[in-house]
Structures are given as C-alpha cells and as structure tokens.
A and B are shown apart, each in its own frame.
Chain A
Amino acid sequence: MGDKTGILITYREALKQALREALLSDERVFLLGEDVGRYGGAFAVSKGLLQEFGPERIMDVPLSESGFTGAGIGAALAGMRPIVEVMTVNFSLLAMDQIVNNAATLLHMSGGQLNVPVVIRMGCGIGRQLAAQHSHSWEPLYAHIPGLIVLSVGTHEDARGMLLSALKSPDPVVIFEYTYMLNLEKEIPADAGAVDITRAKVRREGRDISIITYGAGVYKALDAAAELAAAGIEAEVLDLRVLRPLDEASVIASVAKTHRALVVEEAWRSGGIAAEISARIMEKAFYELDAPVQRLCGVEVPIPYPKHLEDASVPQIADIVNAVKKMIKP
C-alpha cells in the first residue's frame, strides 16, 4: 500500500504531474505541440516544463497539425515515445489524416511489422463560450477507428494516471482532455499514478438505474446521482473511460444489476458513443431491461457562442435528474 493520504489538486495540475512523471521516467518521451513551451501551453498545462526539460523534450511546433502529428507517428515508429499535443479537437481534424490513415493502419498494412506507440492528447469539450470552431465533443469520430485506443479523461484520478499507461501501449492512443475541467479541484491519493486503461469503472454504486457516461459527463452524472439519492433513487454511475475498445462486459454487468440504462454524452446524438452503448445493451442484455434505454446527448447544432444557448446544447445535471426520474417513475 502506498500513500493514500488525499491531496487536493486541479485537473490541470494532475495532467501536468503526469507529463512530468512521464518525462522523468523515460528519456524517449518528448512533448511536441503548439505553444507547449514558451507560451506555457495554450491552457497552461505544460507551463514550466520547458524550463525544466529544455527545448529538445518540450518542442514548440509551427501551426502544422498534420505535419507535427505525422512527425510524432514517425518518431514513434523509429523508437521514441512522443506525446503529441493538439490544442483543440477542432484542430485535430487537420491531423486526422495522419491519425486515421497512418497511425491506425500501419500495424495492419505491414502485416504486424510496424506498431505505432504514439500518444496524442487533445483538449476538447464545451462550456467556455468558444463557439463552433473551438469547442466540440468529437470523441465518437475517433472511437470509430479500429487500431486506435481512445481514452476519455473524466476524473482527476485519470488525469493523473491515463497518460502513463498510454505510454506503455504498443499501439496509438488518443487521449481526450476536457478544458472545461482544468480549474476544477478534487482529491486524489498522494501516490496516485498509472491507471488501468482497459476497463470502464463504476464511480458510484446503485441498484435502480445505470447512468453510463464518460468525459465531461462523469462529474455531472455523479452530481445528478447525489441529487437522485436524496429522492430515494440509487443511480449507478459507470464511467466508460475507454471509448475504444469498449468495455462491453462492465456495461452489461451494470445493466444486469439495475435493469435500466441512461446513456449521457456531450457529443451529438446521431452515431455517437451513446448509440453504440445502447445497441450493445440491446444485443447482449435485452432480457435484463425493464425500460427502454434512453440517451441524453448533445443537441445536433454547432456549438453556439452565447452562454444560454451553449448550456442548452449539452446535457446538464438537471437534465440527467429529470431523465432518470422519468424513467423510474413514469
């Protein structure tokens, strides 16, 4: 047993500590991304790392998303352990060709000869009024791609630990971080470190309904579950964590226990993760269902700038509470 004393830490600091630990523990690791060095990180996650590790390991890059992501993939092929930071998921679309056509396919195309141990981190999420070209929840786009491991950092524990496990992966890992949560403080164990990146995790036990979610939905679902508990409803909160490959067993186990499922995500409804989860429940746990699976997803609109419209475009805590109550007490 290590030190289980809790420490209060921001999501930003947890991400930074993980980066530091990764850089300290493996000299093949280096960080490359836009403004990660001299500017201090677009969202201040890597602030101070240039001073500590120098420009060889904290590399500022030109605005060339396809170029530097491709370079990260190449460096991974050739023996390094690069961490590519893409400022926002919107910009990652310029790099998507490299991620999908190269990182995700090389192992297969080469008949197993070339694996790509690259880690690509990107900021994403909704809630800072950054409008339609700087804020979206596009995890499903990447979760669609075989060959990628897609992680969603929904808690501080995972902010501290997922990167370290991702760097051990022989295959490309895409990590979604939520800019909206950067300032949020939570307690994690003082010795928190690498975490499993193969399983979903029950963040709160409950018997009446499974709220299945990830990323920005996790804390919202936990807040909603606390509110529901006061109303006598025990909701289980399952954090998917790994969006590809999906931990189907944990989903089915939770539904078999509660017999009801509400899937919550900020991404758009059509073709999203919630659609996939819902389908898997139909396939594998249909006879456990005591009510139709429901989804609370992002409204299908590019994210609008004004606060009231932005808030209305993604599920909020009150929406989760209402949806659960409607499912349990129709």
Chain B
Amino acid sequence: MEKAQYLRLLYQMLLIRRFEEKCAEMYAKTNIRGFLHLYIGEEAVAVGVTQALAGDDYVLATYREHGHALARGMDAGAIMAEMYGKQEGCSRGRGGSMHLFDGQKLCGGNAIVAGHLSMAVGMALAAKKQQQNRIACCFFGEGAAAEGEFHEAMNLAALWQVPVLFVCENNYYAMGTALRFSHAVQELEKKGPAYGIETAVADGMDVLAVERAAREAVEKVRAAGKPYFLVCNTYRFRAHSMFDAELYRDKSEVEEWKKRDPIPRLSDFLLTKKVITEQDIEDLENRVAAEVQKAVDFAEGGTWEPVEQLTKFVYSSD
C-alpha cells in the first residue's frame, strides 16, 4: 500500500474523531440538540469499508452516521451546519444529526433500526434491473439483527440475488442492551449462511483488516451480483447518546477496548514500519483541526430557514 493511502486512512479516522469531539462540545453548549450518537471508537469500520466502494455505489447508514458521511467525502461544514439546524446543512437542517443525506454519497441517516436494510435491497435490485455496475452497501448495528426487518432483507437479497453488501457494525450494545441479552446466537456471522449468503468477519478495530475484508467482499458482490454479509466487531468508546449514564457496562471494559483504539493502532504501526513520521501525524492533526474549525465557522455563519417555508419538502411539487 502506498504511503498516501495509509495517510488517507489515518486522516479520515482522525477527522471523524476530532469532528465528533467537537460535536460533543457543541452539544454540551446547546448548539446541537436532539439526539447525538457518537461513532468514536468505531471509525475503522466506516473508513475501511468505504475505501472499497465506488463513488456511485449506494451507501445507507444508521443514526450513528457522522463517520460514514465524512468517509464518503461529504463536506464537514455541511454536516456541522445540519447538526446546528441551519439551512446550509446537508439536509437543509431538516434532519439533524440522525438524518445526514447527500444525493450522491449517502442515503441517510436512518433512525428506525433496521428500516433501511430492505431499502438497500431495493436499491440493489434497481441496479440489477438497470444492468448498472453499482452495488448497495448497508451499515447497521448488531441490535438491528434482532429485528424482523433484518431477516426479511437477508432472505430477499439472497432470493433475488442482488448486489448488496450488508455490514454489521457489532459494537456489542444495542443502546444499553448487551449482545448476550439480545441474541440467542451471538456469533452474528452465523446468520448469513442461514440464508445462503457468503459471510466474513473482520476486526473492526483494525482499519487495514476492515479494508482488506471489504475489498474482497465488494469485488464478489460486484462480480457475482450477489449479497454478502460482513461482520465487523468493534466498540463505541462513548455513551450510546450524550444522555446516557452507562449503567449497563463497566468502565474497565471500556478501558480495555480503548487499548485497541484504531487510530493509535494504525499510526503506531506506520511509525514502527517507518512509513510515516511524527511530523506527518502532527501535520494531519493540524489539517484536521483546521477543517473542524472551518466546519464550526461555517455552521455558525449559517442561517435559519424562514419559518414560512415550514411545509416545504412534503411533496415534490412544493
């Protein structure tokens, strides 16, 4: 792998991390409202998987999707402005943190758990019918795998043989309910073969491992036009949402997982192999800090949509 590609991975993960730390601050200061779900700790999954996708592939994510939006190259300013509720936001401020959209890069920001899995199947079906080379990539948490929608979507995708990549971001907690309390079979990778879907597992704390697994998966999906199930085991370092006392897990468990933080893991690896220098990392940090600041400035300089436009975007003719 080229140094530039390594730096790209590191840069994207750092950008997500610092951007979200700023989000937490802006939430505490009431500039961001509603629910705010941070992806901190899980960056390797979105960054690793999106490396394998083409620009015109469909990407659908959950309400914990800031990382996916940034990894797909959406503008940090437009995302921050969305969280501020400003009309310069990527969804014109209508969606907020849970509903980031970009016509080309990201189909949400979906906050009904597992609701977007069958939509991903439908997008893949459309690509197949139109004989396009696109695939649909759908991110969801392990909590979603308990929903009927998950099982229906898996079956449909396999039945219809459509090019969809299901990426399960297993962070072990559905809100506050641990995997062992929500799944009778906790090896999520066993659920793919039950539907005849090829399945793999990746270490979701290792961006290089995720990227490798994703490239293999995407190649197969695209070549064979079949579904694929990729399970990435990962961990969120932060609470479920900002307002969460984390009564359901031990601090020691969190500390243990932090030792596997994907960002130092990659940077240490690259420093050890002398692919990059400390100076490279400092440069990246500065670049990221500037970009985050630019995003905040953009959001704060944004404007409120006039209240007279309240009923816009209900019908396409409006």
Assembled-state Cα–Cα distance A258/B31 (Å): 45
Q: Is A102 an interface residue (CB 8 A)?
A: no
Residues on B with beta carbons closer than 8 Å to the beta carbon of A305: 33-34, 85, 93-96, 99
Stretch at the interface among A63-71, A215-223, A237-245: A63-71
Q: Is B311 an interface residue (CB 8 A)?
A: yes
Q: Is A292 an interface residue (CB 8 A)?
A: no
Q: Is A276 an interface residue (CB 8 A)?
A: no
Q: Is B269 an interface residue (CB 8 A)?
A: no
Stretch at the interface among B131-139, B174-182, B211-219, B221-229: B174-182
Pick the residue among B34, B86, B181, B240 that contacts A130 (CB under 8 A).
B34
A138 to chain B, nearest CB (A): 14
Residues on B with beta carbons closer than 8 Å to the beta carbon of A129: 33-34, 85, 96
Q: Is B4 an interface residue (CB 8 A)?
A: no
Residues on B with beta carbons closer than 8 Å to the beta carbon of A35: 175-177
Instruction: Let me know if A94 and B147 touch, CB within 8 A.
Output: yes
Q: Is A180 an interface residue (CB 8 A)?
A: no
Residues on B with beta carbons closer than 8 Å to the beta carbon of A42: 175
Residues on A with beta carbons closer than 8 Å to the beta carbon of B311: 299-301
Which residues of A288-317 have CB atoms within 8 Å of chain B's CB atoms? 299-302, 304-309, 312-313
Instruction: Let me know if A60 and B35 touch, CB within 8 A.
Output: no
Residues on B with beta carbons closer than 8 Å to the beta carbon of A61: 177, 182
B72 to chain A, nearest CB (A): 21
Instruction: Give the residue among B63, B178, B182 with the most A Cβ atoms within 10 A.
Output: B182
Assembled-state Cα–Cα distance A40/B113 (Å): 20
A32 to chain B, nearest CB (A): 12
Instruction: Let me know if B35 and A134 touch, CB within 8 A.
Output: yes
Q: Known interface pairs A39-B248, A309-B305. Does A132 touch B99 (Cβ–Cβ under 8 Å)? A: yes
Instruction: Let me know if A40 and B183 touch, CB within 8 A.
Output: no
Q: Known interface pairs A302-B314, A305-B94. Does A134 touch B146 (Cβ–Cβ under 8 Å)? A: no
Instruction: Give the residue among B34, B147, B307 with the most A Cβ atoms within 10 A.
Output: B34
Across the interface, name the chain B residue whose C-beta is closest to A59.
B181
Interface string of B92-135 (1 = CB under 8 A from A): 01111011000000000011111000000000000000000000
Pick the residue among A39, A60, A67, A133 that contacts B112 (CB under 8 A).
A133
Residues on B with beta carbons closer than 8 Å to the beta carbon of A60: 177, 181-182
Instruction: Let me know if B98 and A131 touch, CB within 8 A.
Output: yes
B243 to chain A, nearest CB (A): 9
Assembled-state Cα–Cα distance A67/B184 (Å): 14
B interface, over-half SS: loop
Which residues of B290-304 have CB atoms within 8 Å of chain A's CB atoms? 304
Instruction: Let me know if A131 and B96 touch, CB within 8 A.
Output: yes
Q: Is B1 an interface residue (CB 8 A)?
A: no
Instruction: Let me know if B33 and A307 touch, CB within 8 A.
Output: yes
Instruction: Let me know if B85 and A40 touch, CB within 8 A.
Output: no
Residues on A with beta carbons closer than 8 Å to the beta carbon of B93: 304-306, 309
Across the interface, name the chain A residue whose C-beta is closest to B149.
A94
A interface, over-half SS: loop
Pick the residue among A63, A131, A312 that contacts B114 (CB under 8 A).
A63
Which residues of A104-138 have CB atoms within 8 Å of chain B's CB atoms? 128-134
Assembled-state Cα–Cα distance A306/B245 (Å): 26
Instruction: Give the residue among A130, A301, A306 with the most B Cβ atoms within 10 A.
Output: A306
Instruction: Let me know if B177 and A39 touch, CB within 8 A.
Output: yes
Q: Is A207 an interface residue (CB 8 A)?
A: no
Instruction: Let me know if A64 and B111 touch, CB within 8 A.
Output: no
Which residues of B76-100 have CB atoms within 8 Å of chain A's CB atoms? 85-86, 93-96, 98-99
Residues on A with beta carbons closer than 8 Å to the beta carbon of B98: 130-131, 133-134
Instruction: Let me know if A133 and B99 touch, CB within 8 A.
Output: yes
Pick the residue among A90, A133, A299 that contacts B310 (CB under 8 A).
A299
Pick the residue among B33, B113, B146, B310 that contacts A304 (CB under 8 A).
B310
Instruction: Let me know if A301 and B148 touch, CB within 8 A.
Output: no
Assembled-state Cα–Cα distance A34/B248 (Å): 13
Pick the residue among A34, A67, A133, A304 that contacts B148 (CB under 8 A).
A67
Residues on B with beta carbons closer than 8 Å to the beta carbon of A39: 175-177, 240, 244, 247-248
5 closest residue pairs by CB, A with B? A39-B176, A306-B85, A305-B96, A62-B146, A62-B182
Q: What would be 29 A-B contacts, judged by CB atoms less than 8 Å apart?
A: A38-B177, A39-B240, A42-B175, A61-B182, A62-B143, A62-B181, A62-B182, A64-B147, A65-B147, A66-B148, A67-B148, A90-B112, A91-B112, A131-B34, A131-B94, A131-B95, A133-B98, A133-B111, A134-B111, A301-B314, A304-B94, A305-B85, A305-B94, A306-B305, A307-B33, A308-B307, A309-B93, A309-B307, A312-B310
User: Which positions in A face B, CB cutoff 8 Å?
Assistant: 34-35, 38-40, 42, 60-67, 90-91, 94, 128-134, 299-302, 304-309, 312-313
User: Which positions in B face A, CB cutoff 8 Å?
Assistant: 33-35, 63, 85-86, 93-96, 98-99, 110-114, 143-144, 146-149, 174-178, 181-183, 240, 244-245, 247-248, 304-305, 307, 310-311, 313-314
* Contacts A34-B174, A35-B177, A129-B85 known; 7 new A-B pairs at CB < 8 A: A64-B146, A90-B112, A94-B112, A133-B111, A300-B314, A301-B310, A307-B85
